Amino acid sequence: MAPNIIDDLVNSIQKTWGDFGFDITPLNLTLTFLALLLPFLSAYILALSQQEVPLAAPAGCRKIGLRGRTNLHDQFSHKYTSNGGTSTTKPWTVKALFIYPIKSCGPVELEKTDIVTTGLRYDRQFTLAQYSTSLPTLQGKVTSEWKFITQRSFPRLAKVETEIWVPDPSLPDYDKDGEWVKSQGCVVVRFPFTPDTDFSVQGLKNIGKILAAKLEWKSEPMVEFRLPFNPDQERIKNKQYIKENMKIWKDSPIALNMGCEIPDEIMAQLKYTLGVTNPLTLFRIDEEMYREVYKCAPKKKDVGFQPTIGMSDSYPIHIMNLASVHDVSSRLPANSSVSRLSALRFRPNVLITGPPAFDEDDWKEARIGKSLLYISCRTTRCKLPNVDPETGTADRNEPGTTLLKYRVIDGGSKSACLGMQVTPIGEGEIQVGDTVKVQERGEHFFLSQ
């Protein structure tokens, strides 16, 4: 049978070529093959010519965080459910640690980190903000102010990647007077941006950039910029930083407007990627003016200090129990476009395993490793977990709808709860594998801002 098929194919080719006056010869076959291959070869060469050349590492600094691996590789395993075995056995431990240098942007996963008064070191010290103008009041008054933005309104923030580079005296290019060393390190920011394409020289180069991204298994080309983690006074003066009010919930802290660190072209590309139409900038919390936390946080008279935060929503640290995430995931509707939930949807700082689902709901005080933590309240949930952290797209309903069906459990709020807000009692260190021991349990009552 097979020889007949081959004979038929050869006869068909011969007839087709014969119609054009060509004979099937090795030379003709070779030329035809090259002609068919040429567009693909040209596209490949164009892509190679436009591949991004990685910028040199920030001088005198090393990158912190895990590389090429994640402690969440098995987060969907059945063993982390309440009936899967692991979740009902001790010791309870820290499975993964995350910081989010820029609020609502991508995380940095760590193996260990310091606990400071504002939470985990480097966590949520920055936020993007847009300049908003209110509608006129009945008296004709109009107000304009910088307001922070999050994935609630701009889900593509999930696609903004961040890195933290810290000074390292052991490096050969370390210089105590170096640009990034004097700034206590560097924040590297990357985001996806697809440039315009046409048949101009630049348009063809942009096509090459898009093809190069595909060769590297990226959905889009990436744009990068760098920020000083904590600019010194000389840089603030030279760059003409502005200190101004920035609205974050009901707070209006005076913060450092660092928009001058981002080139205009890159800022325009970032606005396009996020879908922001108003003026956009980036703020850093002023370390001399951290935001004080009251509500359910411990009182100064009890612990000797008033808890503070940078650009976090409410409290310094957020912990999640992986078994609780599994429980919510198991209740998603069968017809939902969301099939399973990554713990990263809930943006934890500390992800723990061991306790049964929702055991954490009544924790009041816990010791993780050697660090004592005051469990301030439950985490009330908005629509932010509806955003898929991998794609930056928001589902219309889930998991928010499922949470509302059975997790409105706090008398102080009508919102669903998942996770716990934590205030550290003093400084310390935390690392993956640390044991979690509950010191005290009790009731919680959420207090809004």
pLDDT digits (tens, 9 = 90+) for 255-271: 999 999 999 999 999 99
In tens, the pLDDT along 76-99 reads: 999 999 776 555 556 899 999 999
**In the predicted model, is pLDDT for residue 197 greater than 90?**
no
Instruction: Show the DSSP H helices in 257-351 as ranges.
Output: 264-274, 300-303, 322-330
Residues 177 and 94 grouped into a single domain: no
Res 449: pLDDT: 67
Angle separating helix axes 201-215 and 26-49, nearest 10 degrees: 90
CA angle 58, 62, 67 (to 5 degrees): 115
Bridge partners of 417? 380
Final residue belonging to a domain, choices 225, 252, 284: 284
| Same-domain status, 161 and 255 | yes
Q: pTM for this one?
A: 0.89
Q: Which of 284, 308, 326 is the last residue of a domain?
A: 284
Nearest to 82 by CA among 331, 385, 317, 349: 331
pLDDT band at 400; cut points 50, 70, 90: very high
Query: Does residue 235 lie in a domain region?
Result: yes
Q: Is the domain of 375 the same as that of 420?
A: yes
Pair 299, 268 in one domain: no
**Could you list the residue range(s) of the whole structural domain that residue 252 is in?**
126-133+141-284
The domain total for the chain is 2
Q: What is the mean pLDDT of residues 290-307?
A: 92
- Please state, in angstroms and rounded to a whole number, the distance separating the CA atoms of residues 142 and 240: 28
Same domain, 254 and 331: no
Mark whether 312 and 249 lie in a shared domain: no
pLDDT in tens, 411-445: 999 999 999 999 999 899 999 999 999 999 999 99
Q: State which amino acid sits at residue 439.
A: Q
Side-chain half-sphere CA neighbours of 45 within 13 A: 6
Give yes or no: residues 435 and 337 share one domain: yes
- The confidence band for 205, taking pLDDT boundaries of 50, 70 and 90, is confident
Mean pLDDT is lowest, of 12-26, 293-307, 355-369, for: 12-26
